[in-house]
Amino acid sequence: MATYREAGVNLESAEAAMSRIAPHIAATQTGGMVGRIGAFGGFFEVPQGFRRPILVSSVDGVGTKVKVAVRAKRHHTIGEDLVNHCVNDIAVCGATPLFFLDYFAAGTLDPGVFESVISGVARGCKAHGMPLIGGETAEMPDLYAPGEYDLAGTVVGIVEHDDILDGSRVAEGDVLIGLPSSGLHTNGYTLARYASFKGARAYSIDDKPPLLKGRTVGEELLQVHRSYLVPIRALCEAGLVHAFAHVTGGGIEGNTRRVVSSPLDLSVRYEAWTRPSVFDFIQRAAEVPEEDMRNTFNLGIGLVALVPPRNLNRAQALLSQCGERPVTIGSVHRHSTS
């Protein structure tokens, strides 16, 4: 005789898990929410005051950074990684975030791990003043190995139609201003894990390789993907910027090309900033070719602002006021046909 539980799904532990996350979700609630938690859908009122309100949305995961969290048994910040990644993706379009939904899937639901993960999602939402309006928690035995899980999320934001940033304003001569990343963010983890744990010298998660200057491999690889919402909004509201690129999979050039179209091209001076040591650590640990480093990792620059030369000084000053350390890393020019 087979019950649902014997088949591998434990609804009681699912209920216990849901009751654990309820206070975290409640803490994210803001004015725009309508209705109640537990309904089939999440409700959010479209804000007033827009002439042509455009919704901007993005879905993302955190890649195999989840594997590092599992290896390190540290689950409380992976949710922030997710939220910040998603928020950056819509912020670079000129949007401000409205609300968030998460998807958590595991082989078996460990209420402690689950609470830890969702508390991070909620913290990330709260930091951006947006409610966690919906979520799906899936217990899927034999799809995920014991202890493993995947995490994805969707953010929905809003922008006035005339304020959309989609690359169409980018012009010859625009300067690329880079803002520092906090580490690997959420990309390149398959290569980073390969280099760290399967390289010539297979490190453990708690090792402190000399290049990491006293920090463990786990600490370095779990550095939280930072949010750029504050500096992005500051540049947008001051009208100083032509476009932004969020540096994720594909690296600095790959992502900046998403807002620079032919006949324009761009060049990046990789010697313009000091590459954080975690990237040197990865490159040396597995002898990764420089081209793969550039196409895979942010290399210390997590956001690129494309600014016309006339605004450069004001943009840099404004960014400094936001506590940023902006670096001029390249420029936009006409595509060379020679």
Our CB check for a copy of itself shows the closer of 164 and 230 to be 164
Write the DSSP symbol of residue 175. Answer: E
Tell me: does residue 265 bind a copy of itself (CB under 8 A): no
Bridge pairing between strands 264-268 and 327-334: antiparallel
Tell me how long the chain is.
Answer: 338
Minimum CB distance to a copy of itself, residue 61 (Å):
5
Give the residue with the Cβ less far from a copy of itself, 60 or 81: 60
Q: Using the rule CB under 8 A, is 46 a contact of a copy of itself?
A: yes
| Interface characters, 220-249, with a copy of itself (x: CB under 8 A) | -------------------------xx---
Judged by CB under 8 A, the residue of 136, 206, 237, 280 near a copy of itself is 136
d(CA 222, CA 296) in angstroms, rounded, equals 17
Our CB check for a copy of itself shows the closer of 73 and 325 to be 73
Angle ∠(284,78,46) on CA atoms, nearest 5: 130
Q: 11-26 and 111-127 are packed helices; what angle lies between their axes, rounded to 10 degrees?
A: 20
In whole angstroms, how far apart are CA 217 and each of 56, 200, 313?
36, 15, 38
Closer residue to a copy of itself, CB minimum distance, 15 or 206? 15
Cis bond before residue 111 (omega within 30° of 0):
no
Tell me: does residue 102 bind a copy of itself (CB under 8 A).
yes
Assess 22 for contact with a copy of itself (CB under 8 A): no
Q: How far is the CB of 158 from a copy of itself (least distance, A)?
A: 8
Buried b / exposed e along 222-248 (16+ C-beta atoms within 10 A): bbbbbbbbebbebbbeeebbbbbbbbb
Does 180 help bind a copy of itself (rule: CB under 8 A)?
Answer: no
Window contacting a copy of itself (CB under 8 A); options: 44-52, 219-227, 273-281, 319-327: 44-52
Binding residues among 190-209 for a copy of itself as defined by CB under 8 A: 190-191, 193-195, 199
Question: If we measure between CA atoms, which residue out of 182, 308, 244 comes closest to residue 56?
Answer: 244
**What is the rounded distance in angstroms from the CA atom of residue 225 to the CA atom of residue 218?**
14
As given in the structure block, the two tokens for residue 306 are 């494309």
Q: Does 262 bind a copy of itself (CB under 8 A)?
A: no
Q: Which of residues 303-332 bind a copy of itself (CB under 8 A)?
A: none
The answer to whether 287 contacts a copy of itself (rule: CB under 8 A) is: yes
The pairing of beta strand 53-61 with beta strand 33-34: unpaired
Query: Exactly one of 45, 172, 237, 280 binds a copy of itself (CB under 8 A); which one?
Result: 45
d(CA 223, CA 35): 36
Stretch that binds a copy of itself, among 59-67, 170-178, 234-242, 273-281 (CB under 8 A): 59-67
For a copy of itself, the binding residue among 21, 56, 130, 266 (CB under 8 A) is 56
Question: Is residue 273 within the footprint of a copy of itself (CB under 8 A)?
Answer: no
